[in-house]
Amino acid sequence: MKTLFANARLIDPEAGTEGRGALLVEEGGIAAVFPEGAGLPAADETVECGGRCLAPGIIDIGVKIGEPGERHKESFRTGGLAAAAGGVTTMVTRPDTLPPIDDPETLEFVSRRAREASPVRVLPMASLTKGREGREMVEMGLLGDAGAVAFTDGVRPVHNTRLLQRALTYALGLDALVIFHPQEPVLSAGSAATAGAFASLLGLPAVPAMAEKMQLARDLALVELTGGRAHADQISTAAALPLLAAAKAQGLRVTAGANVHHLTLNEYDIADYRTFFRITPPLRPETDRVALVQAVADGLIDVIGSFHTPQDEESKRLPFEEAAPGAVGLETLLPAALQMVHSGMVSLPRLFACLSTNPARLLGLDGGRLSAGAPADLVLFDPDAPFVLDRYTLRSKSKNTPFDQRRMQGRVFGTWVGGRRVFTREQG
């Protein structure tokens, strides 16, 4: 079976280029890429792209699915449908389930459920410590054999420095990836906003932005000590960026990610106490957001993710500081991230390097490329198509998005996984 994607605007994040052309898919993989004007081969099926953008499918690291334990918030089926509609072809899922994914049996259950229900690829992460309690390491080797692609305790930083040192050292022997959440846990406890005049005006419990820098400094020191391979997720403050730059310049095996909400929203969005804006870490001042976007453009931030965190209505219908943190993001990741392109600060190839190519490299995957030999995981989208987001149209079971009723720009029109079409939007 040969499928030709004709008349496309090809976004190639690996080469850092975009241009008109066509792409041939055969047996689930990309067989050839043709520049504009080249002779095109015969195919069994032709997808007329109509000049829209064709890019590698998004690999979203840090997705929360509610199986096991909170299936009423999100299942692999609904999360997978939301991912497909958002151009996400691989969900890299978090281990903060009930119970946590800290043994091979739970991991195998999750993998089986994902295979049965999700239309997109699912790669599970396992927790770094048993029960995510920070007291005892998991069996990394067994979990790696069972399919864990990385180890993290999610938004619970490992408080015990010696244990984290041991975990990094052990992971080094397996060449396993450890993911940090750089927020000093004592200062961060109970916080719902970033400390400053605005948080004081609202009367909300707040955490200083410095809490991120403090924890990141410790974590990077442990990476230097052990030589381990680590990824700092959800960098959200300008203060953390020089530390990150210094660590990379020193040659430490460290990468960094940012949550799309911190790249597109700021602390003033919580002014109405609407709990859909209650996320972890809290939204930051505009100066931090702009510095973070610049770090994406400069290559200091490697990965952008949705940090999809479904919460039901009961979890959010509470006073702001008591509401469960988190926002859904699988379906809004791309249109929200395109805000940086429309502002002129980030190019489309650079954006897809952060959405596709770099996550693939980080996890040792063969995807994230728009070249012959890569899997045909593709997204077809119009970066300029406007729409108003209605949260009730989202495919996720939970509807807790901060972008409800917001005017957005950029719509996905088709998603393919291994050459198989998993999402079609007939019109904008």
CATH code at position 300: 3.20.20.140
Is residue 82 situated within a structural domain? yes
Q: What is the DSSP string of 91-117?
A: EEE-S-SSS-S-SHHHHHHHHHHHHHH
Tokens, residue 127: 């927790």
**For residue range 143-193, what is the model confidence (pLDDT) as tens digits?**
999 999 999 999 999 999 999 999 999 999 999 999 999 999 999 999 999
pLDDT value, residue 426: 80
pLDDT value, residue 400: 98
Query: What percent of the chain is helix, strand and coil (3-state, nearest 5)?
Result: 35, 25, 40
Residue 36: how many other CB atoms lie within 10 Å: 12
Is residue 423 situated within a structural domain? no
C-alpha distances in angstroms, 203 versus 101, 192, 206, 319, 352? 37, 10, 9, 12, 39
pLDDT value, residue 73: 98
CA-nearest of 197, 332, 163 to 259 is: 332
C-alpha–C-alpha distance, residues 75 and 96, integer Å = 14
Is residue 395 situated within a structural domain? no
Q: Look at residue 139 and give its three-state secondary structure.
A: coil
pLDDT per residue, tens digit, the chain (428 aa), is 999 999 999 999 999 999 999 999 999 999 999 999 999 999 999 999 999 999 999 999 999 999 999 999 999 999 999 999 999 999 999 999 999 999 999 999 999 999 999 999 999 999 999 999 999 999 999 999 999 999 999 999 999 999 999 999 999 999 999 999 999 999 999 999 999 999 999 999 999 999 999 999 999 999 999 999 999 999 999 999 999 999 999 999 999 999 999 999 999 999 999 999 999 999 999 999 999 999 999 999 999 999 999 999 999 999 999 999 999 999 999 999 999 999 999 999 999 999 999 999 999 999 999 999 999 999 999 999 999 999 999 999 999 999 999 999 999 999 999 999 999 998 65
Strand-strand pairing, 2-12 and 17-26: antiparallel
| Pair 94, 257: CB distance under 8 Å | no
pLDDT value, residue 57: 98
Is residue 21 situated within a structural domain? no
| Pair 111, 124: CB distance under 8 Å | yes
The residue range of the domain holding 301 is 57-369
Work out the angle between the directed axes of helices 104-117 and 76-85 (0-180°, nearest 10).
60
| Pair 141, 173: CB distance under 8 Å | no
Residue appearing with tokens 């994607």: 5
Is residue 50 situated within a structural domain? no
Say what the alpha-carbon torsion angle 30, 36, 39, 41 is, to the nearest 10 degrees. Answer: 30
Is residue 61 situated within a structural domain? yes
* Chain centre to alpha carbon of residue 181: 14
Is residue 222 situated within a structural domain? yes
CA quadruple 50, 53, 58, 64: dihedral sign: negative
pLDDT value, residue 427: 63
pLDDT value, residue 12: 97
Number of domains making up the chain: 1
